[in-house]
Amino acid sequence: MIQPVTSASSFRRFRAMLFKETRQILRDPSTFLIAFLLPVMLLFLMGYGVNLDSARTRIGLSLQESSAEARSLASAYQNSPYFNVTATGSIAELEPHLVGSKIHGIIVIPQDFGREVARGGGTIQIITDGSLPNMANFIAAYGEGVRATWAQARNKDRGLHITPPIDISTRFWFNPELASRNFLVPGSIAIVMAMIGSLLTALVVAREWERGTMEALMATPIGMGEFLLTKITPYFMLGLISMTLCALLAIFVFGVPLRGSAFALLAISAIYLVPALGQGLLISATVKNQFVASQIALLTAFLPTMLLSGFIFEISSMPTILQAITYVVPARYLIPQLQTVFIAGDNWRLFLPDMAILLLFGTAFMLLCVRATQRRIA
């Protein structure tokens, strides 16, 4: 089935075909768009547009008495680096702001607060916009934090010092500043490679099927394996070039560290491209229609890479059925490798098993591809 390249003439044929395919790809404006423009756009979106680290959140403040304690706590919120107090008034006055998303939380310092504090208590209320669950959690945690810090400082001034019985010293390895950019930007390289490997390949090769140029090529005396190889090689190179571009942007524009070796990054990417290209080729060989191929590539390659790879959402938290599906999403085995090579360093104990699985996927896709192509000709 797959004929080995033996004689000099078949090598020349192979080289000629490869040359033709490469020229064809370089001439196509879509290539430039998918391999360079879209990746850069995606990286900038992930670097600037998606920010899971909360910035200063706009809140409202409802101060219901004017005791010294209440005013002192209010100014603690006003000076907090986590909050930006943009509105004040009664809860009823602030409610429309919360409905209109002008603010995302309300801190209520109730009547009698000053007297309660004097007695050693002092309860405040924090109202959050629950329609944004992440932000609501943030406001609840940091809102209470501001109050607790204020209370502690006050007690200290008065000579009262209560040590908490259990303290936690928290350390985040590899990413102590907890910048979500550090995992989003390497993760988006996976999406870029899925885009080139599966989407671009599916689209372009499906067009050849649609126009019948594929059959014309197959009528030449070239072997099936050779033929697929000449189709894939230019995209493979394109994928690696685009990955390099993304990695350079990640490091020099977004300040993501590359703690592992460039060799490991290259090896990880090259191995991932095998199943990605196989998938793209398989889609085009099975449907051979541009519109349907593009939709299937979106649905089976792009979306799963985005959603089911552990890139944004934790796989272990998904319903069991979805968790089961993630095992056949190649990107699932790529994301941990990419995150590791960028922010932790080379760890071949972690890389090698994932690489083996990816190669297995690649082989399976290629074999299916050869079968699908042969059947179509017969």
Partner 1 sequence: MIGPRLRAIIIKEIWAILRDPRSRIILVAPPLLQLFLFGFASTMEVNNIRVGVLDLDHGRWSREIVQRIDGSPNVREIVSLRSDAELARAINDQKIIVAIRFDPHFSADIASGKGATMGAIFDGRRSNAAQIISGYIRSITNEVGASLLPKGLPQGGRAVVTHWFNPNLINLWFVMPALISILAAISTLSVVSQSVARERELGTFDQLKVSPLRTYEILIGKMIPPVMIGFVNVTLFVILVPTVFGVPLQGALLPFYMALIFYLVAISGIGMLISTVSATQQQAFLGMFAVSVPMITLSGYASPVDNMPGWLQLINLANPSAWFLNISEGIFLKGMPLAQVFSNTWPIMLIAAISCILAAALFRSRME
| Interacting positions 161-180 with partner 1 (CB under 8 A) | 162-176, 178-180
Q: How many residues does the chain have?
A: 378
Let me know if 134 is exposed, middle or buried by CB neighbors in 10 A (0-12, 13-18, 19+). exposed
Can you name the residues that pair with 284 across neighbouring β-strands? none
- The single residue among 17, 61, 74, 98 that binds partner 1, judged by CB under 8 A, is 98
Contact 307, 313 (CB under 8 A): yes
Interface mask toward partner 1 for 118-157; x: CB under 8 A: -xxxxxxxxxxxxxxxxxxx--xx-xx--xx--xx--x--
From the CB of 364, what's the least distance to partner 1, in Å?
A: 23
From the CB of 350, what's the least distance to partner 1, in Å?
A: 5
From the CB of 122, what's the least distance to partner 1, in Å?
A: 3
Residues 77-96 that bind partner 1 (CB under 8 A): 96
From the CB of 189, what's the least distance to partner 1, in Å?
A: 14
Contact 360, 368 (CB under 8 A): no
Residues 7-46 that bind partner 1 (CB under 8 A): 29-30, 33-34, 37-38, 41-42, 45-46
From the CB of 251, what's the least distance to partner 1, in Å?
A: 17
Residue 166 CB coordination number (10 Å): 5
From the CB of 230, what's the least distance to partner 1, in Å?
A: 21
Coil, helix or strand at residue 185: helix
Which range, of 12-20, 202-210, 250-258, 277-285, touches partner 1 by CB under 8 A? 202-210
Contact 332, 310 (CB under 8 A): yes
Cα 220 to its chain centre, rounded Å, is 43
Size of the residue set binding partner 1 (CB under 8 A)? 107
Nearer to partner 1 among residue 226 and residue 340 (C-beta): 340
Q: Which residues contact 35 (CB under 8 A, 6 or more apart)?
A: 196, 200, 238, 239, 241, 242
Q: What are phi and psi of 108, to 5 degrees?
A: -110, 120
- The single residue among 79, 101, 111, 363 that binds partner 1, judged by CB under 8 A, is 101
- Six-digit token pair at 20? 């033709």
Residue 58 interacts with partner 1 (CB under 8 A): yes or no? yes
d(CA 272, CA 173): 26
Nearer to partner 1 among residue 9 and residue 177 (C-beta): 177
Residues 300-359 that bind partner 1 (CB under 8 A): 303, 307-308, 312-314, 316-319, 322, 336, 339-340, 343-344, 347, 349-350
Q: Is the dihedral of CA 133, 329, 45, 53 positive or negative?
A: positive
- The single residue among 53, 90, 261, 327 that binds partner 1, judged by CB under 8 A, is 53
Contact 70, 107 (CB under 8 A): no
Cα 110 to its chain centre, rounded Å, is 43
Name the DSSP class of 299.
I
Residue 250 interacts with partner 1 (CB under 8 A): yes or no? no
Contact 14, 226 (CB under 8 A): yes
From the CB of 2, what's the least distance to partner 1, in Å?
A: 30
Nearer to partner 1 among residue 68 and residue 162 (C-beta): 162
Contact 79, 52 (CB under 8 A): no
Residue 212 interacts with partner 1 (CB under 8 A): yes or no? no
Nearer to partner 1 among residue 182 and residue 279 (C-beta): 182
Nearer to partner 1 among residue 199 and residue 222 (C-beta): 199
Nearer to partner 1 among residue 120 and residue 221 (C-beta): 120
From the CB of 143, what's the least distance to partner 1, in Å?
A: 6
Residue carrying structure tokens 């409202």: 60
